[in-house]
Amino acid sequence: MTTQVFLDTVGEERPAVSPLKTGAPLEDIAVAGQWRLIWGRFIQHRVAVGAGIVIAVFYFIALFVEFLAPALPEASRPQYTYAPPQSIGLFVADESGGTRFQPHVKGYAIEVDPVALRRTFVVDDTKIVPIGFFVEGPTYKLWGVFAMNRHLIGPLNPTDPMYLLGTDKLGRDLMTRLIYGTRVSMSIGLVGVAISLCLGVVLGSLSGFYGGWVDMTIQRIIEVISSMPTIPLWLGLAAAIPLTWSPLQVYFVITLIVSLFGWTGLAREVRGRFYALRGEDFVTAARLDGSGERRLIFRHILPSLTSHILAVLTLAIPTMIVAETALSFLGVGLKPPVVSWGVLLQDAQNIRTVATAPWLLVWPAAAVVVVVLAYNFLGDGLRDAADPYES
């Protein structure tokens, strides 16, 4: 091989770098904290940011349900039971024969069929129900404090029917109920999720980290708890909780108690991973650095489980929202008059609805699915952002 020397490189004092965009000045490279880095990476994840926005929107809705909903959740109109959804039109025919801009929905022509025991609805093109934004409608108390009657959207004449998503068996506006349901569904179950998560992570960590008798004890507890079917527990609790509590309080307490029983799965998974990780060199290194056990567990080992925990979390949230419906099946979930997505779904759990009023099933289910997906993609984005291997 011939000898070659590249003397033009003699003076180089550091590795070659160049700015990200050609032409941009290469400033002194800023040092950022880990959190800022993670945030920076998260921001670049378009789907995740979108999901985050969706969730924010849902919480926004939950905050202003009274204003956003066109009607009141309890307001029922007998003649409109099982009314199908209306569609919005933008232009109406003028007297002069032309068209003019007027957002509206069409009213219904209703017939009662006493043999089949139902009302049949036909869209009546002649009944124009003009609608608008910031209209006056039924009075409500925002956050139970401020009496107001402005609604984001609604019929100009509050007595006209506007049922964009249809009505339920008692002639109540599904859209209103769906919006009201957001508040409960997006809040209550989450407390339980948070508690289970903490318990699962902490106890699983301790069990896997220490092994020995700690592990022995925690495992026995887990065995007892997880072999205990929840159904009898529900039934027992339902009977034990004082009746003077409102259904919402009862449900809240029940989710709390159940979360005390729901951590075992995560705990065992965490334990399994801890078992594998606790002997790693980097853990030993951290121990030699003087980290106490708490720091070892939470600062050094647990981050390795970020992905798993985020996945479990994003799975637990929909499970909690949906679980409410199953609990109702057993008679311990949320019940009317509380409005939640679970309650709406529970109302839809019969052939009658599936066959003749599918909108009662589709919209609440869609709401759950959207939130669930949004939480999941958000979790995904966070995972990716926290992943050291992602740039």
Distant-in-sequence, close-in-space partners of 349: CB < 8 Å, separation ≥ 6: 325, 329
Whether 186 contacts 341, CB under 8 Å: no
Whether 163 contacts 173, CB under 8 Å: yes
**Least separation in angstroms between CB 28 and another protein:** 8
Task: Pinpoint the alpha helices (H) of 123-245.
Answer: 174-185, 188-210, 212-226, 230-240
Whether 340 contacts 185, CB under 8 Å: yes
Nearest residue (CB) to another protein, 154 versus 380 = 380
The vertex-340 CA angle with 171 and 173, nearest 5°, equals 20
The residue behind tokens 């043999």 is: 115
The first and second tokens of residue 282, run together, are 């980097």
**Phi then psi dihedrals of residue 162, to 5 deg:** -130, 105
* Helix (H) or strand (E) run with residue 38 in it: helix 34-43
**Least separation in angstroms between CB 222 and another protein:** 8
Count Cβ atoms below 10 Å from residue 247 Cβ, excluding itself: 14
Spatial separation of the C-alpha atoms in residues 16 and 31, rounded to whole Å: 18
**Least separation in angstroms between CB 130 and another protein:** 26
The vertex-149 CA angle with 81 and 248, nearest 5°, equals 65
**Least separation in angstroms between CB 314 and another protein:** 7
Nearest residue (CB) to another protein, 102 versus 307 = 307
Nearest residue (CB) to another protein, 100 versus 299 = 299
Nearest residue (CB) to another protein, 98 versus 144 = 144
The vertex-88 CA angle with 106 and 131, nearest 5°, equals 75
Nearest residue (CB) to another protein, 110 versus 156 = 110
Nearest residue (CB) to another protein, 93 versus 330 = 330
**Least separation in angstroms between CB 106 and another protein:** 22
**Least separation in angstroms between CB 284 and another protein:** 5
**Least separation in angstroms between CB 95 and another protein:** 35
Nearest residue (CB) to another protein, 97 versus 232 = 232
Nearest residue (CB) to another protein, 90 versus 355 = 355
Of 189, 174, 191, 186, give the one whose Cα is nearest residue 326: 189
The first and second tokens of residue 38, run together, are 């993670």
**Least separation in angstroms between CB 174 and another protein:** 15
**Least separation in angstroms between CB 161 and another protein:** 15
The first and second tokens of residue 385, run together, are 């952002």
Nearest residue (CB) to another protein, 99 versus 358 = 358
* Helix (H) or strand (E) run with residue 317 in it: helix 306-330
The first and second tokens of residue 296, run together, are 């070892």
Burial classification of residue 372, based on how many CB atoms lie within 10 Å of its CB (0-12 exposed, 13-18 middle, 19 or more buried): middle
